[in-house]
Amino acid sequence: MTLSITDAIRKRHSCRAFTRQTVSEEQITRILATASQSPSGANTQPWHIAVVTGQTKYRLQTAILQAFEAGQKAQPDYEYYPTQWEEPYTARRRACGLQLYESLDITRQDSERRREQWAANYRAFDAPVMLLCFMDNMMQTGSYLDYGMFIQSVMLSAMDEGLATCPQAALAEYPDIVRTTLRYPESKHLICGIALGYEDTEADVNHYRTPRESVTTFSDFFD
């Protein structure tokens, strides 16, 4: 049964545990072809996607994990989060992290397991496909808005293929390693990554849902 657009948006969630089932190139192509219909200013279509699977994915995630374990500081191409947190964002961020760790039965004091869980980000949570989202560094803020619409389209289109996703800022923390591994020039900025595969529906980490604010909280109506 085909999901309505409303149902797809409401049911989409960030998947952090995947099965070993492979995803075909044909499926990925259909997803990206659909997402390419997303709007962009002056039809610039600023997105460029690296589809990383198999041995290349293994080499890339191994290189990133080695940097992480060695204590190498992340150096993303842009700042994703604010440098100083304020309310209500601080509380929302903490609540999000608490839900994640509670679903995995990881206590606040268990720093080793917390670190292991963070490292799972760099493996794209063991999804068979890692989509890496690049954009030419000449593009400006408006293109980031365009890219957000494209990424949402990718995630919703994946649902139509029976697949799950997780958008990941963490996969853009070591862009130089990614560019070196994939032989991309420095002019390609890494925006984020997306884990793609079949959801492990039995994994506890996939069962919690983060809350959303009511419309009255973030909207003003003027008549």
Cis before 88? omega within 30:
yes
Tens digit of each residue's pLDDT (9 = 90 or more) over 3-55: 899 999 999 999 999 999 999 999 999 999 999 999 999 999 999 999 999 99
Rounded CA gap, 185 and 87, in Å? Answer: 38
Rounded CA gap, 161 and 154, in Å? Answer: 11
| Structure tokens given for 152 | 């949402």
The boundaries of the domain holding residue 196 are 5-81+121-215
Whether residue 187 is contained in a domain is answered as: yes
Tens digit of each residue's pLDDT (9 = 90 or more) over 149-182: 999 999 999 999 999 999 999 999 999 999 999 9
pLDDT at residue 3, as a whole number: 84
The answer to whether 107 and 196 are in contact (CB under 8 A) is no
Whether residue 47 is contained in a domain is answered as: yes
The DSSP string of 83-140 is SS--TTHHHHHHHHHHHHHHHTT--TT-HHHHHHHHHGGGGGGG-SEEEEEEEETT--
Whether residue 199 is contained in a domain is answered as: yes
When pLDDT is averaged across residues 61-85 and rounded to a whole number, the result is 97
Whether residue 164 is contained in a domain is answered as: yes
Residue 64 sits in a domain whose CATH number is 3.40.109.10
pTM of the model: 0.97
Instruction: Give 167's strand partners.
Output: 194
Whether residue 107 is contained in a domain is answered as: no
When pLDDT is averaged across residues 140-151 and rounded to a whole number, the result is 98
Helix (H/G/I), strand (E/B), else coil: 165: strand
Whether residue 103 is contained in a domain is answered as: no
Identify the band that residue 192 occupies on the pLDDT scale cut at 50, 70 and 90.
very high
Q: Mean pLDDT of all residues in the chain?
A: 97
- Number of domains composing the chain: 1
Identify the band that residue 1 occupies on the pLDDT scale cut at 50, 70 and 90.
low
Tens digit of each residue's pLDDT (9 = 90 or more) over 117-133: 999 999 999 999 999 99
Whether residue 156 is contained in a domain is answered as: yes
Whether residue 93 is contained in a domain is answered as: no
